């Protein structure tokens, strides 16, 4: 409560000081020089200077004060809003230096004035330019940007115990399902109010699928509980080594939690700050930790990239055995502006990567909307922890519940574990997938129908183990159907085997080019997704 009072008094003082400064300007400088209003020039200067030096909030306060003065002088409310906005923008762009802040300041004033108050804008250019020039001639010492300390700290910034980690894991699952709910709500938009009876009928038809999802939810929670109980706190074993590594960068660790999973893979949460105020990247810290602990560490993708003088928590995780790069090549059906194919290359939790392709029925906007929905739901479900089989069944249920005419959509999923190289594929109505290993090419395909057609869907999972240098080639049927031969897969297998390079983008373009050569123009949407896996 005391802190809130202090903050409140501080802002009142700032506002009062800003308003007082504006009044002093009006009182003592109400004269013109060379057709330039000194009052207005100084008001622009004060707004720009304050926003640049003290940031967005203080710039907006000063802008409001100066705008109020102009409002009284001009008997118009327009200056109040304009000055408030340009003061805030001066603070937003202060990271670009005096020139960047001034350009943003002037552009905002001209843009807002031209749209909402052209009568105010006319005749203001000399005063604005004069104010900016005054700002530029100030010495650097006076215009040095003030760094405002942040007082708000998120709880996860200081996670330091196994119990807090467990709660965080459950919160992570909860957030995944919240996002999933938003996706489902979006998919069900557009239902007619008069379709209530029809919707109930369709829901009853899919009741088995709904029940199955409750079972899957139970499996997910059981797996989450298993992840929590299968983790050991090894902070005591690793703490001294990690502190020694951080000391090399003059980083002071304040709290530390190191966990080891059942597969011996570790993750670490370290709350720390720089002792001398110098910024150090999380990547540099990970390299030093790797040398000291003889484990390959990396900062988590969603973790902080830089450590400075303020305490921050960074999550480090053991790097994967493999890395994966991908390339994409696409062509839109002739006389269409938008492809009906959608693809995704997404990093999943636990060191997995998702490659996904979907081909909507037909072409153009309608086909794109269908395939985009399928890909979006697949990403959300797999990130939330659903198995590939359960994800496919739930997506099928959602498509059937939408109440529109049946629009079959293909789904081609491939998940790769970058720790082990294990690969799982699920294909529904999708074209064959090819795995290239040197000169050898393996064809993977199933006879499963596209999703969104029937209530029952039985996905078949194909498994494979990838090694260093392997490539996965996925494509939509527009590529396969371009070849006139009966054994289309065989033709593509030979073409892929003959390719000697290791560039995924180059191989994708090569396949697309050969397919278009068969028909001269794209007679269907064409997409090729190539991913290569290499040892680190």
Amino acid 147: pLDDT: 52
Residue with tokens 């699952």: 173
Residue with tokens 């290359």: 345
DSSP annotation of 405: P
Q: Which domains does the chain have, with CATH numbers?
A: 2-143 (1.10.1760), 154-189+231-319 (no CATH), 322-535 (3.60.40.10)
**Would you call 252 helix, strand, or coil by DSSP?**
strand
Q: How far apart are CA 524 and CA 407, in angstroms?
A: 17
Q: How far apart are CA 524 and CA 329, in angstroms?
A: 14
Convert 262-303 into a string of H (helix), E (strand) and C (coil): CCCCEEEEEEEEECCCCCEEHHHHHHHHHHHHCCCEEECCCC
Cβ count near 388 (within 10 Å):
20
Give 270's strand partners.
256, 314
The first and second tokens of residue 199, run together, are 């919707």
**CA nearest neighbour of 42 among 128, 119, 115:** 128
**CA nearest neighbour of 308 among 250, 347, 359:** 250
Q: How high is the mean pLDDT in each 10-residue block of the chain (536 residues)?
A: 46 52 51 60 85 79 80 73 80 75 79 68 74 80 57 44 62 59 56 50 54 62 65 90 93 92 87 88 94 92 86 91 95 90 91 94 86 89 81 81 70 94 94 95 92 82 94 95 90 94 95 93 94 95
H helix intervals, 385-487: 388-401, 477-480
Cβ count near 458 (within 10 Å):
11
Give 360's strand partners.
409
Give 259's strand partners.
233, 267
Pairing of strands 306-307, 280-281: antiparallel
Q: Is 435 exposed, middle or buried (0-12, 13-18, 19+ CB in 10 A)?
A: buried
Calculate the CA 10 to chain-centre distance.
Answer: 36
Amino acid 329: pLDDT: 96
Q: How far apart are CA 275 and CA 311, in angstroms?
A: 10
Q: How far apart are CA 21 and CA 155, in angstroms?
A: 40
**CA nearest neighbour of 328 among 505, 101, 533:** 505
- From residue 191, alpha-carbon distances to 194, 198, 368, 405, 407 in Å are 9, 10, 20, 13, 16
91 phi/psi in degrees, rounded to 5: -75, -35
Query: In angstroms, how far is the first alpha carbon of the chain from the final one?
Result: 53
Threshold 0.75, pTM exceeds:
no
The first and second tokens of residue 395, run together, are 């997506």
Amino acid 23: pLDDT: 52
Cβ count near 207 (within 10 Å):
11
Query: Does residue 14 contact residue 59 with C-beta atoms inside 8 Å?
Result: no
The first and second tokens of residue 201, run together, are 């009928």
């Amino acid at each position: 409560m005391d802190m809130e009072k202090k903050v409140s008094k501080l802002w009142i003082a700032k506002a009062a000081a800003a308003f007082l400064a504006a009044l002093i300007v009006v009182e003592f400088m109400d004269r013109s020089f060379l057709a330039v209003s000194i009052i207005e020039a100084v008001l622009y200067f004060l707004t720009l200077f304050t926003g640049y030096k003290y940031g967005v909030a203080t710039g907006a306060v000063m802008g409001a004060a100066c705008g109020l003065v102009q409002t009284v002088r001009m008997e118009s409310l327009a200056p109040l809003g304009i000055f408030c906005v340009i003061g805030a923008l001066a603070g937003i762009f202060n990271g670009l230096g005096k020139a960047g802040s001034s350009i943003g300041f002037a552009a905002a004033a001209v843009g807002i004035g031209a749209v909402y108050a052209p009568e105010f804008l006319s005749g203001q250019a000399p005063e604005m330019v004069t104010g900016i020039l005054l700002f530029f001639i100030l010495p650097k010492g006076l215009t040095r940007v003030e760094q405002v300390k942040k007082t708000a700290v998120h709880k996860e910034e200081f996670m330091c115990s196994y119990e807090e980690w467990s709660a965080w894991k459950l919160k992570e699952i909860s957030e995944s399902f919240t996002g999933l709910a938003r996706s489902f709500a979006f998919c069900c938009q557009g239902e007619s109010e008069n379709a209530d009876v029809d919707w109930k009928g369709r829901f009853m038809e899919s009741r088995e699928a709904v029940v199955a999802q409750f079972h899957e939810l139970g499996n997910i929670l059981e797996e989450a509980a298993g992840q929590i109980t299968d983790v050991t706190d090894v902070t005591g074993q690793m703490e001294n080594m990690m502190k020694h590594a951080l000391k090399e960068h003059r980083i002071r660790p304040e709290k530390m939690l190191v966990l080891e999973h059942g597969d011996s893979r570790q993750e670490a949460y370290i709350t720390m700050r720089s002792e001398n105020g110098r910024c150090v990247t999380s990547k540099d810290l990970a390299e030093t930790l790797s040398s000291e602990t003889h484990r390959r560490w990396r900062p988590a993708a969603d973790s902080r990239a830089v450590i400075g003088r303020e305490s921050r928590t960074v999550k480090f995780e053991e790097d994967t055995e493999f890395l994966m790069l991908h390339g994409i090549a696409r062509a839109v059906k002739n006389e269409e502006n938008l492809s009906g194919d959608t693809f995704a290359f997404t990093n999943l939790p636990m060191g997995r990567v998702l490659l996904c392709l979907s081909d909507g029925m037909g072409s153009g906007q309608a086909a794109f909307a269908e395939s985009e929905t399928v890909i979006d739901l697949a990403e959300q479900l797999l990130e939330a922890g659903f198995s590939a089989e359960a994800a496919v069944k739930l997506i099928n249920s959602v498509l059937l519940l939408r109440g529109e005419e049946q629009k079959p959509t293909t789904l081609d999923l491939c998940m790769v574990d970058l720790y082990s190289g294990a690969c799982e594929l699920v294909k529904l109505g999708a074209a064959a997938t090819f795995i290239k290993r040197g000169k050898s090419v393996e064809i993977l395909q199933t006879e499963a129908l596209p999703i969104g057609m029937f209530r029952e869907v039985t996905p078949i999972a194909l498994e494979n183990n990838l090694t260093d240098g392997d490539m996965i080639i996925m494509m939509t049927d527009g590529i396969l159907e371009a070849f006139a031969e009966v054994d289309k897969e065989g033709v593509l297998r030979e073409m892929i085997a003959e390719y000697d390079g290791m560039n995924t983008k180059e191989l994708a373009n090569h396949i697309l080019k050969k397919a278009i050569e068969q028909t001269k123009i794209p007679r269907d949407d064409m997409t090729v997704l190539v991913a290569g896996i290499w040892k680190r």
